[in-house]
């Protein structure tokens, strides 16, 4: 039977097309908040890093009511690196709202999320958002979106999508771009009419699939998912079925249903609803919670394989243990494996060293967010340069991940973009000039070539370029890519940076340190102007003499130091360097701190090549 009182939808889109803003408007117009209640913008982005970066990282569930129908809404990330969140959410819902920018049209991540929705058999409502922008072109965007549906193999039923035009910031919507209603009523009506009600077996044995998990200090682990069949009651004896099919007894201590931003206690829930459970602390994503008398497993959640990996190790620098709370390999290992329970797109492996772990993810940002979260939680560790994961086909040919890259730059920067991507084995697939004079490129580039590329691209285009990328396919390995064009300036001794020391060597490159900062031998203190490393003494002090200098000689003017963000530091490092991450900041260092050790290692490499 169908539960006509419920609709389950996911909101999917490319990054920055307005998903979370639209959810804000839907919540406000459903009277979830009091009239005098102060509500922050992008209220669903509750994570501190999400609010700082202005992106959604974790998928979140909320619910609103419209004319007696409960609409469960799952807000999903728009960035390609968090595609694993989108993939697993598709199991919970019966349809999607596909948001498309009224100017940009379908972008790389639009293609990825729509493909996942169509593969799951879902119908979509296309929402053309930001219709108020001066350069909006709704008719072109609708046609481009239809072409995308056809290219992705949508069925006739899926291709006949409803189209709604919105200004999510003001909460206005309409079926025509010419005149918007002063509410989202046309959107709510389309959800009720076009998204199918969940088809459920209300009287069969219970089946619940764990899709996301979170932790509460008082309730313990809380898992969220959809109840596919039957009824669940508080205290009911159940069975947890893991990915291997093994069964373990389980019991629910608390049941929750969603209403607005809150979870509310429930004594009993019926099939078709998105719910949360507490009391099953060992339940992991992709596992089934089933009736104890008739346990039947649901298909587990599978996501695409990681494409990038890096090592996480215990910090062994001279400053180790000064700033972190959790510094041991046991704590580091425990935290990394705990993350895999929440993030199915992340993989962690032990290595031959007990102090080093291999962590694989979907991209630099995916791993960078994990590093930032752990740093804020008090962990101290060191990470290596990200590297791509190679595969081999049945013929033994080595394959590497490729990415589809879309770039939009001003006409002044065409040449520099083509040159940069040419050096990174990029292959141009399309190019056209837009009405405003900007140039739109489509490239297929090895993931190797994009590691550390974003900062260089933004510098080359004076911060005006827009770059989006999406995993494309595994293809035979391209030629050699030399993405590191400058060497590092390395501290030759331990101590405090002096103004005099920096002044003596500032013509050698750009510095990352400032006077008074502590450094140690082997720490990277700047970027050399040449393509080789150079050891410098930035702690050198001016010796006092009995000879008086003239007054003008005492004035020292230093160039401003370059401030690296954590993402910049991870992008910058070379194969023989690490980023030391602590709760108070980060430092770049050589893997081998002693200059003698580095020279011996270089001789070994040269002999091996000879």
Which residues are known binding-site members?
16-21, 129-132
Residues 139/163, Cβ–Cβ less than 8 Å: no
Q: How far, in Å, are 88, 235, 267, 469, 522 from residue 117 at the CA level? A: 11, 35, 32, 19, 50
Written as six digits, the tokens of 41 are 């913008």
Q: Among candidates 484, 478, 483, which has minimal Cα distance to 425?
A: 478
Annotated binding site for GTP: 16-21, 129-132
- 446 alpha carbon, distance to own chain's centre: 19
Residues 402/446, Cβ–Cβ less than 8 Å: yes
CA gap 285, 281 in Å, rounded: 12
Question: Is the four-CA dihedral 317, 318, 324, 328 of positive or negative sign?
Answer: positive
CA gap 552, 571 in Å, rounded: 41
Q: How far, in Å, are 177, 555, 559, 564 from residue 511 at the CA level? A: 52, 20, 8, 10
CA gap 20, 85 in Å, rounded: 15
Residues 367/308, Cβ–Cβ less than 8 Å: yes
CA gap 303, 305 in Å, rounded: 6
| Paired residues of 503 in beta bridges | none
Residues 221/283, Cβ–Cβ less than 8 Å: yes
| Paired residues of 224 in beta bridges | 212, 276
Q: Is 200 helix (H, G, I), strand (E, B) or coil?
A: coil
Q: How far, in Å, are 425, 478, 581 from residue 419 at the CA level? A: 10, 17, 34
Find the DSSP H helices in 461-507: 499-505
DSSP labels for 480-514? ------S-EEEESS-EE--HHHHHHHGGGEEES--
């Amino acid at each position: 039977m169908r539960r006509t009182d419920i609709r389950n939808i996911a909101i999917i889109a490319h990054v920055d097309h307005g998903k979370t803003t639209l959810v804000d408007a839907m919540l406000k117009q459903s009277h979830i908040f009091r009239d005098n209640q102060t509500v922050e913008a992008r209220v669903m982005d509750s994570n501190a890093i999400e609010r700082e970066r202005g992106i959604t990282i974790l998928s979140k569930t909320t619910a609103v009511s419209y004319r007696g129908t409960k609409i469960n809404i799952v807000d999903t990330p728009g960035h390609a690196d968090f595609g694993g969140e989108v993939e697993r959410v598709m199991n919970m819902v019966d349809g999607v709202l596909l948001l498309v920018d009224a100017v940009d049209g379908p972008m790389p991540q639009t293609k990825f999320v729509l493909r996942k929705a169509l593969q799951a058999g879902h119908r979509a409502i296309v929402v053309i958002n930001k219709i108020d922008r001066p350069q909006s072109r709704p008719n072109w965007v609708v046609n481009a979106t239809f072409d995308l549906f056809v290219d992705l193999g949508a069925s006739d039923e899926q291709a006949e999508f409803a189209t709604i035009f919105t200004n999510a910031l003001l909460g206005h919507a309409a079926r025509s771009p010419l005149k918007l209603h002063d509410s989202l009523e046309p959107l709510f009506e389309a959800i009720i009419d076009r998204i199918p009600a969940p088809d459920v077996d209300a009287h069969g044995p219970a089946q619940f699939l764990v899709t996301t998990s979170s932790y509460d200090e008082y309730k313990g682990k809380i898992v969220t998912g959809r109840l596919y069949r039957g009824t669940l009651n508080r205290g009911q004896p159940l069975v947890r079925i893991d990915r291997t099919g093994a069964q373990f007894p389980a019991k629910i201590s608390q049941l929750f249903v969603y209403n607005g931003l809150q979870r509310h206690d429930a004594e009993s829930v019926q099939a078709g609803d998105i719910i949360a459970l507490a009391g099953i602390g060992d339940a992991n994503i992709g596992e089934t919670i089933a009736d104890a008398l008739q346990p039947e497993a649901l298909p587990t959640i599978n996501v695409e394989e990681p494409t990038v990996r890096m090592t996480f190790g215990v910090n062994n620098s001279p400053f180790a243990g000064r700033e972190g709370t959790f510094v041991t390999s046991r704590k580091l290992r425990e935290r990394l494996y705990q993350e895999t329970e929440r993030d199915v797109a992340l993989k962690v492996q032990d290595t031959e060293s007990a102090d080093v772990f291999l962590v694989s993810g979907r991209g630099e940002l995916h791993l960078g967010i994990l590093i930032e979260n752990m740093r804020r939680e008090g962990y101290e560790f060191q990470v290596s340069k990200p590297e791509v994961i190679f595969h081999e086909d049945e013929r033994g040919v080595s394959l590497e991940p490729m990415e589809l890259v879309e770039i939009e730059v001003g006409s002044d920067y065409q040449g520099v973009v083509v040159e940069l991507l040419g050096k990174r084995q990029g292959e141009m697939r399309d190019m056209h000039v837009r009405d405003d004079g900007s140039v739109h490129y489509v490239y297929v580039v090895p993931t190797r070539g994009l590691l550390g590329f974003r900062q260089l691209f933004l510098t080359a285009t004076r911060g005006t370029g827009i770059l989006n990328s999406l995993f494309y396919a595994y293809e035979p390995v391209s030629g050699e890519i030399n993405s590191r064009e400058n060497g590092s300036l390395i501290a030759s001794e331990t101590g405090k940076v002096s103004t005099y020391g920096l002044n003596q060597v500032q013509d050698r490159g750009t510095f990352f340190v400032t006077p008074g900062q502590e450094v140690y031998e082997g720490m990277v203190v700047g970027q050399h102007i040449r393509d080789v490393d150079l050891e410098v003494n930035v702690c050198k002090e001016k010796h006092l003499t009995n000879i008086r200098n003239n007054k003008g000689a005492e004035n020292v003017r230093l160039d401003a130091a370059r401030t690296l963000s954590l993402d910049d530091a991870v992008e910058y490092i070379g194969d023989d360097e690490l980023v030391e991450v602590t709760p108070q900041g980060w430092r770049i260092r050589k893997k081998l701190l002693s200059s003698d050790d580095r020279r011996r290692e270089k001789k070994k490499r040269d002999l091996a090549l000879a």
